[in-house]
Every structure is written in structure tokens, then in C-alpha cells.
Structure 1
């Protein structure tokens, strides 16, 4: 069996919503511009000192922590011939060895004193394009390299040098990549939708959306 590579935190970031200027001198309130820190306490609602602007699409107990794989930074920087700032995507944790294809909805990880569980792939928005000035959003959707979100099962302090340990892999092994591919590219895949819905730990928001899709595909 191939040995699993050890995950590592590259950047640990938090930040409250603030004004961000983008093309043409326009302004918007957003929580995407976070700052690197050494340590923060993680609660069921997210890290102390962290926040979101649009609570309809961000935040909440199923979306308390945002994770993005560092490996994608190298891909995007090469493709768009530009350097990206740290926490470009507004993620709390930029990590290695936790790609969307290798982690699963329902997987449980220990990070420092805290324990988190993956709940859904992230649905990116155009704030990412506004922040970077490049068309990243479409490529993130095309590839499924969106990052993912987590709920907090145990509160506690997390440090930049905290170890990330998979303590309970989910038995159904439905990867975040599988979920993203289905969500964005195979909206009529009834069997795929049923597979994802069978994961009890799926975020309520995704469950609601996928149940609506299923109802349209299988009308009573």
C-alpha cells in the first residue's frame, strides 16, 4: 500500500470583513483578504478573529473552516504567469498533501487541539477574480480545484506549526473531487447524487441543493 503523504500547514490566516478595492476603483465588503497568524482559537463557528461578509454563501457551522491545497497555487501561478498573495482564496489553512481527490466528505482530522470534519467542496465566487484580477473562477470550476469546507467537532487552539492528522477516514470514501465533478459538470447524474446524499455528514446546504436536483430528475 502506498504510504500517505503527511499534510502540512503552509499558511494559517484569519481576518474580519473589510473594504477591498478592485478594477476601476470599485469597492466591496469581503472577508477574503486575510492575514497570516501564528495561533488562533477555533470554535464551532470558526476561528476567533475571522469572519465573513455574505452569510448566505459563507460561514456557519458546516463552513467554519476553509482549506485550500497549496499545490494548486503552483499550477495557477504557472498558468496565469503571476504571483498570488498568501491566502488568495480567503482560506484559513493553505495545506500540502490534502488534495480534493485525496480527502473525503466526512473525513475527520485533528489539527492542534481542535478536531474538524470535511463537509463539502467549496463553491467559489467571483470575489476571487476581483481580488486577483485574473479569471481564476472558471478554471477552479473546470478543474474542481476549489478547496473545501469543514465543521468543528472539538474546539481548541490551532497554531501555524500544528500537525494535521487524519484520525477517522470516512467509510464511504466520497472524495471532494467526486462531489465537485458531479456538482459542476454532471448535474443529471442521479446515481452520483444518491452516493453523495448517502454521506450523513454532508453539509446541510449541499444536501438541500442536491435533494432539489434529485426531485427534478425523479419527479413524483
Structure 2
């Protein structure tokens, strides 16, 4: 977030300088400013993911190990939001898992994954299996095609009851997601049932997400 804000301030400074000298501001610079504003807006999700992972990890540690009930944060192992999840667990001095994927372009595991819990997959389908099979909850932060792929596969498996266990699905950032996916329109056009909207829940703050997860995980798994 600091880097994104610093870049925006730098661009705004350039614009002010041009305006003070009575010179026109190039469209390219205005476009750069608009992009930087989006980056600042999106960067808050990184901080939120760090905080949520920290809260979950600290709560998990408080449960103790006597009954074997512990919850471990798992991410895709890469940068961005994936890194944020592992970082939050790291800040809480807990374990965290990274399920990396080998890609044509370089993607290194982030530095916050517990070393012995860092895994790399060649196939996406196998990676998704290990995301889902041991999971008790899924928190979907804003993302692109890969995130959508994972979200809709889980929702399909829940809808068709291929997943029989209780799986909590939280979609984080309602403003973003309601622009990206119009779930209500899917109901309107009859491609999903209204009850399918109960397969997930929108959340907008780390504490809201944490309290829901804590209560539901306690109810179903402790």
C-alpha cells in the first residue's frame, strides 16, 4: 500500500507542477494517475488479507494441540494476495502452506511460506484438488481468471453436492465482486436457483470475516 500511495503522490506532483506552469497535462499522465488510484484502492485488500490470516492463525494457536484441532492458512504461494495470506500467518508466528504452480513465466514462492509446507504443482486441476480436499473454508479475495476458476469450481462442487462436508465460502470485497459477477442476474435468467446464493457469503472487513469463520468452524469442526 505504501508503494502504491507513493507512486500516486509522485504522479499528482507532476500534474500540479505542469498546471502551475500553465502547461497542458498529457493524457498519458492522466491515464497513469487513474491506474495509480486503482492500485491504491486495490492495495487495501492486501492489508486486509494479512490481517485476516493473522487473526485466524492466532485463534488457531489458542485452541491448543491436545485435541488435534488446528486450522492452517493456505494460499497459492505466489505474490500479491497469496503472499499476504502467508504473511499474516507469519506475523502470528504460525505455520502456513503454499501451493505453487509451475508456469512458463517466473513465479517464485513468496518468502512467508513455512519452508517444509511449500509445494509446487504442474497441473492446475491437481493443485485445486489439494486446495479443496483438506479445506474447511475458502476466502476469495479480488482476483482475475485464476481466482474465478477456483471460485466457480468450488461453487459447482457444492451445488452438485460433490463436496459433502461443510465448506464455508466467503467472497471478500462485495463492491468489487458485485461488479465482476452478477449473481442476481444468474438467478433472474434461471441458470442458477435462488438457494444457490446461500452457498457463499459476502464480507468486507477482516473482523467480519474472522468472526464468521470462527463461529462456523467452531460449530462444525470443533
Which of the two has greater helix per residue? 2
Into which bin does the TM-score normalised by the smaller protein fall? under 0.3
State which structure, 1 or 2, has the greater radius of gyration over its C-alpha atoms.
Answer: 2
- TM-score with structure 2 length normalisation? 0.24
- TM-score with structure 1 length normalisation? 0.25
Which of the two has greater strand per residue? 1
